[in-house]
Amino acid sequence: MKRACYFLILLFLATTANAQFELYPTNWWINMKWNKVEVLVRAAAQDIKTQNVTLAYPGVTLNKISKFKNPHYLVLELMISPVAKPGTVKIKIGETTADWPLKSRRTGNGRTFANGVTSADLVYLIMPDRFSNGDPSNDRVPGMRDQSLNRDSVFERHGGDLKGVQNHLDYLKDLGVTAIWLNPVIENDMPDRTEHGYAFTNHYKIDPRIGGAAAYKDLIDAAHLKGMKIIQDAVYNHTGLEHVLFRDQPDSTWFHRWPKFTQTNYKDQAIFDPHGAQIDKKIMQDGWFVPSMPDWDQSNPFVQNFLIQHALWCVEEFGIDGWRIDTYAYNDLNFMNRCNQALYDEYPRISIFGETWVHGVPNQSYFCQNNYSIPFKSNLQATTDFQLLFYGIIPAVNEPFGWTEGVNKVYTTLAQDFVYKDPTREVIFLDNHDLPRFYSVVNEDTAKYKLALAWLLTCRGIPQLYYGSEVLMEGTTSPNDGQVRKDFPGGWAGDKVNKFTAAGRTGKENILFNYIRTLANFRKRSSALTTGKLMQFAPYDGVYIYFRYDRQQTILCAMNTNKMPAAIALNRFAERLNGFQSARDVVTGQVTPLKDSLTLAPMSDRVLELTK
């Protein structure tokens, strides 16, 4: 009995000690290349600036202690040598000892995790709060600022979570999805509009309303077992007003400050404009994105290491495969190169792409690996390809054909791929959580929608599908962006319909669902579509022909953007057609001889696998 009481007292003392201090990162690993770790220590209710700090752990050295104007903080620079073993590092601060776990590394780097997302993948973007509620017990979490739970409002939380995503992995795999991109999963303890997750309040907590760290690990492990990858959404540029480091700042240098509130001008041109004014560049990069999101000062080396270590920690702790970076152009780009390189060094196969909601191929390509000879060279692998959406597929399906209009814009935009180091890494898409749903963009015209989907699944790059696109979910950003973030029908107990099942979908929805599933699953098996080359031919009279091909396979993609049928002579495409005798329609399975011409229905796209 005495021994049990003694154990409980020790446990209480250890728990109390750790409760007095917040340590960021919460733990680390042996044998990491990033072996000089800055541990940010916060003691919310006490002055630790004058406290003596010591530790004694084989292979771990306390190199340096940094202090700040705010006495609640210290930064401890720890060097972890190759001889260090897993265990618990005891950090003594004053008379109190805090535990800092040092773990063995996750196995399977580049194989079972950090495997990267490539052009062989189909990415499915999910907003966890709006996809499926797998665990109603976490719908509201006591103590969090946002206690809303109202599915009748697009501005309040609905209760979707990570367990809901996990429950539908088989649905996604059947659809042909190979990678899942989740809108941010980090704690977002803001008072309102928290469903999107882009205003972090604690970098080292997974939001408990979507299940917390345990649910995140369960989802990732389950996805990996099914051969699927996970992409985490990263936000480096800003945080939420309620972030612990903003509410209780170490000093005045951690966030950008202005004499009065200054919002970014959203002018990416100012960053690379040879004629640009420095004030415009400063406002672009240092101005706050919105009033509720404080802007990190990424020139501060402590901020840099805090954000870099968090990125490394997430990959190692959870085993994610890819990294999507929000609002990429607004960051300090030299810092971003450093952060990206730290991830590449530790995880050589990881993929990283950034959101670049800009206008123009030169603008977009400036922010990723490119072939320009210019002073600044980005090491970001790729971007989200807004150019092929705004100046490609939207005009292709919605504008009349002309010398530079209509589908000519797809042709023209793709012709500028010579500026990218690797255009096959570009992430192509029809819509996302910030844009009108594409089914609404085409005014619910299923012919246009199918044409655009065929393009998405056959063009160069990594295709991304927004949740619910396969069941014709609609919505525009007017009157607000919540209209494009509606619940997936069937994701909640008691929903009137369940579109996760064929029986719950309408006839029209099943036609589109099966169309996507057929193309997506064919794509998984197609070397030409996943890793092959692209050859496009100049459009004529609203008809656009392009080929995906390699030594094993040739795919002919024919797009008719006219309201009338089109018969096209095939002799112009001889350099890709020579030697082929027949064509199998990938969607219908019908095999026909290759003749002198090809007939296309109005507003349609045919995907043909050629055989000799």
Residues annotated catalytic, as ranges: 326, 355
Q: Among 216, 33, 223, 217, which Cα is nearest to 112's?
A: 223
Angle at which helix 446-458 crosses helix 507-525, to 10 degrees, equals: 10
Angle made by CA atoms 101, 41, 72, in degrees to the nearest 5:
155
Question: Tokens for 563?
Answer: 């309201």
Would residue 211 be called left, alpha or beta, if left means φ above 0 and alpha means ψ between -120 and 50 degrees? left
First to last CA, the chain: 83
Residues 6 or more apart whose Cβ sits within 8 Å of residue 283: 262, 264, 265, 267, 270
Query: How far does CA 474 lie from the centroid of its chain?
Result: 22
**Encoded amino acid at 39, one letter:** V
DSSP class of 105 = P
CA dihedral defined by 148, 153, 154, 159, rounded to 10 degrees?
Answer: 40
d(CA 457, CA 56): 56
d(CA 76, CA 311): 19
Question: How many residues comprise the chain?
Answer: 612
Question: Tokens for 130?
Answer: 């709006």
**Encoded amino acid at 450, one letter:** K
| 8 Å CB contact between 476 and 483 | yes
